[in-house]
């Protein structure tokens, strides 16, 4: 069992939890994820790691209460225990293989959206601490849903906040801000890393392709076992089928077939599952 050491509300229905899982914390790397199983009746929830502290033995997850399982997880409080906390899973971020000299030559642009902002934090922190140039665009519906502003600001050179309604920072989508930075501020990034809703990553990749800017996306398809056995998380990357849990979760955004990934994700939406159950009755 894995204890919730700390719980914080970041935005409506969005919670940060520090989970005591020393073995996971000791081997976690930026880009990896965990699978959380709240209790013996709960589904498996894949969550990209949002931070880890080897000394404290904790791993931070950020969860949005949306479906049945995430609501159950988010209802737990400090001191409560989670049945299973499996990880770290997946591959570490590609930039982990660059040496100091190579890192200093890169200018990273992170493009984060909504809850996907949280897993950007450990990646930006790692790169910033190693001396790389890091800019972050963090997009949210409005000011109320903007999360981790102070933490992100501490691990980058420039933090650009964007909100759909203009209640904080730039008014517009994260893709509009990418265009603004490159066209108007003449930023010359060498790579973009995008984490957020699948539809956002699709449009980020379409935008950066016009600038020939290398783009890595962190995919979050439906997952079951998380070990490459069930095929639930399959995605088309180039002409090849990949499993996000073992080959990813990060892939070349210009090669991902987002339309098929989005259509698979929709098949498992609550509304579609309700229709399926009704049709079977």
Residues that bind ligand NAD (CB under 6 A): 48, 113-116, 119, 139-141, 162, 164, 173-175, 195-197, 199-200, 203, 218, 220
Q: Which of residues 209-268 bind ligand FES (CB under 6 A)?
A: 223-226, 228-233, 243, 245
Closest residue to ligand NAD, judged by C-beta, is 114
Contact 24, 87 (CB under 8 A): yes
In the complex, minimum distance from the CB of residue 243 to ligand FES, in angstroms, rounded to a whole number? 4
What CA–CA distance (Å, rounded) separates 103 from 75? 41
Partner in contact with 1, chosen from ligand NAD, ligand FES, none, beta carbon below 5 to 8 Å by kind: none
What CA–CA distance (Å, rounded) separates 148 from 135? 15
Nearer to ligand FES, 33 or 160 (CB): 33
Whole-angstrom Cα Rg for the chain: 18
Partner in contact with 229, chosen from ligand NAD, ligand FES, none, beta carbon below 5 to 8 Å by kind: ligand FES
What CA–CA distance (Å, rounded) separates 109 from 204? 11
Partner in contact with 257, chosen from ligand FES, ligand NAD, none, beta carbon below 5 to 8 Å by kind: none
In the complex, minimum distance from the CB of residue 104 to ligand NAD, in angstroms, rounded to a whole number? 27
In the complex, minimum distance from the CB of residue 161 to ligand FES, in angstroms, rounded to a whole number? 33
Reading the block at residue 26, the tokens are 């000791």
Q: How far is CA 259 from the centre of its chain?
A: 19
What CA–CA distance (Å, rounded) separates 124 from 256? 23
Query: For the chain, what is the total number of helices (H) and then of strands (E)?
Result: 10, 17
Nearer to ligand FES, 190 or 263 (CB): 263
Nearer to ligand NAD, 131 or 272 (CB): 272
In the chain, alpha helices (H): 22-27, 68-74, 100-104, 120-129, 149-153, 174-179, 198-210, 244-247, 258-267, 270-280
Partner in contact with 226, chosen from ligand NAD, ligand FES, none, beta carbon below 5 to 8 Å by kind: ligand FES
Contact 250, 116 (CB under 8 A): no
* 3 state SS of 90: coil
What CA–CA distance (Å, rounded) separates 80 from 139? 32
Residue with tokens 């890091």: 134
In the complex, minimum distance from the CB of residue 142 to ligand NAD, in angstroms, rounded to a whole number? 8
In the complex, minimum distance from the CB of residue 204 to ligand NAD, in angstroms, rounded to a whole number? 7
Nearer to ligand NAD, 81 or 180 (CB): 180
Reading the block at residue 71, the tokens are 């609501």
Partner in contact with 119, chosen from ligand FES, ligand NAD, none, beta carbon below 5 to 8 Å by kind: ligand NAD
Nearer to ligand NAD, 38 or 93 (CB): 93
In the complex, minimum distance from the CB of residue 118 to ligand FES, in angstroms, rounded to a whole number? 21
* Longest CA span, the chain: 62
Q: Which residues bind ligand FES (CB under 6 A)?
A: 223-226, 228-233, 243, 245
């Amino acid at each position: 069992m894995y204890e919730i050491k700390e719980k914080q509300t970041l935005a409506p229905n969005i919670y940060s939890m520090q989970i005591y899982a020393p073995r996971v914390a000791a081997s976690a790397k930026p880009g990896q994820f965990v699978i959380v199983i709240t209790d013996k009746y709960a589904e498996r929830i894949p969550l990209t790691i949002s931070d880890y502290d080897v000394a404290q033995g904790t791993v931070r997850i950020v969860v949005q209460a949306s479906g049945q399982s995430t609501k159950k997880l988010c209802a737990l409080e400090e001191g409560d225990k989670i049945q299973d906390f499996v990880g770290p899973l997946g591959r570490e971020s590609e930039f982990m293989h660059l040496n100091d000299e190579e890192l200093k030559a890169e200018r990273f642009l992170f493009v984060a959206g909504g809850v996907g902002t949280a897993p950007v934090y450990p990646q930006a922190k790692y790169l910033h601490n190693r001396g790389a140039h890091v800019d972050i665009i963090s997009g949210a519906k409005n000011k109320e849903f903007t999360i981790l502003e102070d933490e992100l600001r501490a691990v980058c050179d420039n933090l650009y906040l964007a909100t759909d309604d203009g209640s904080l920072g730039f008014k517009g989508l994260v893709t509009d801000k990418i265009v603004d930075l490159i066209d108007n501020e003449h930023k010359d990034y060498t790579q973009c890393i995008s984490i957020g809703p699948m539809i956002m990553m699709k449009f980020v990749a379409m935008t950066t392709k016009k600038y020939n800017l290398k783009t890595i996306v962190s995919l979050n398809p439906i997952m079951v076992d998380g070990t490459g056995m069930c095929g639930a998380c399959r995605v088309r990357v180039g002409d090849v089928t990949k499993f996000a849990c073992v080959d990813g979760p990060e892939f070349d955004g210009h090669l991902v077939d987002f339309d098929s990934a989005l259509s698979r994700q929709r098949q498992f939406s609550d509304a579609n599952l309700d229709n399926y159950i009704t049709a079977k009755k």
